[in-house]
Structure 1
């Protein structure tokens, strides 16, 4: 069962997953994905979490996690 906490949005419609991707917290990203956070959530700019990870040039591990859970 999905936790509604994952669906909470900030002023830019970022989910918790977006926010931890932006902060480059690979462990938190992995945990959120393990518990069902959606890799397909878009913010108000139309960006997925993977877009933010690629744009910010953060840890490749985050991109790998996002791709792994995309399946």
Structure 2
């Protein structure tokens, strides 16, 4: 049974811990330096914010979407 005041009321905070060692990071960065990674970034003018949000909602996001202000 869900106790509304106990389980749902007020903000909840979830914390996670990833077990990553310095060696893991070093190996990852060495590997990343060897692979030609090109991030995909699509800019939207602020006036196009609704379109960007629609694509986010419809899971049409690939890479990063950036709102350009000004």
TM-score by length of 2: 0.29
Structure in which a larger fraction of residues adopt strand: 2
Bigger helix share: 1
